[in-house]
Amino acid sequence: MKLATRTATPKSKTTEVRIERYRIRFDRRAQAALCAQIAGACRLVWNFLLADCERRYRLARAYGKWTDFPPENRPDLSTSFFTLGKRFTDLRSRPDAAWVRAFLGSPWGRRYRDMDLSWLRALPFGSVRYTAKYLADAYTRFFEAWAAAKAEGKSLGVRKSDGKPKGFPKYKA
């Protein structure tokens, strides 16, 4: 069902559609429940992968130079869709993977430590995996904005809510 907000300016007699809102109506409660589960899984995967990326970045910064890292302990700092997609696949099908165990043992993974993630396997793979693509795109936009600001000799500024640079991906509530 399409709901449109129509407004007209006092000078003009034409009506302009400025915003379109859509409401999804499900045939059955089971469809609504599945949609809510998928949305919750997407939120969980986004927050999980974002926290893991932050953990890897903080480890790299705390350790010092990249070349000082022992090769077997170097965290993969890539935020590409390919890398995040592989991490999602591990999270979904192999929750005992080494990086998942390392993440859950860290302060960033504390909130996910007691969660049973086996329910992710029951949901459609593609729609939840696309969350990794959206996160990779958010990182790409942030790094492009950061590079453009750096080229102009400016800084991005800081968000008041969490102290991170403006444009940095946010956790989903």
Count of C-beta atoms within a 10 Å radius of residue 112: 17
- pLDDT for 157 equals 87
Distance (Å, whole) CA 119 – CA 33? 14
User: 122 falls in which pLDDT band (50, 70, 90)?
Assistant: very high
Closest among 127, 119, 104 to 46, alpha carbons compared: 127
Lowest mean pLDDT segment, chosen from 95-99, 134-138, 140-144: 95-99
Q: How does DSSP classify residue 171?
A: P
Segment 116-142 mean pLDDT:
92
Percent of the chain topping pLDDT 70: 88
- pLDDT for 6 equals 60
The answer to whether residues 135 and 79 touch, using CB atoms and an 8 Å cutoff, is yes
Kindly state the tokens that stand for 41: 């899984």
From residue 149, how far is each of 9, 144, 145, 146 by CA, in Å? 38, 9, 6, 5
The answer to whether residues 8 and 14 touch, using CB atoms and an 8 Å cutoff, is yes
Residue 3: is its pLDDT beyond 80?
no
DSSP states of 81-144: HHHHHHHHHHHHH-TTSHHHHHHHTSGGGGGGTT--GGGGGGS-HHHHHHHHHHHHHHHHHHHH
Total-model pTM:
0.78
- pLDDT for 35 equals 92
- pLDDT for 128 equals 92
Which tens digits make up the pLDDT trace of 66-111? 667 777 767 777 888 899 999 999 999 988 888 888 899 999 888 9
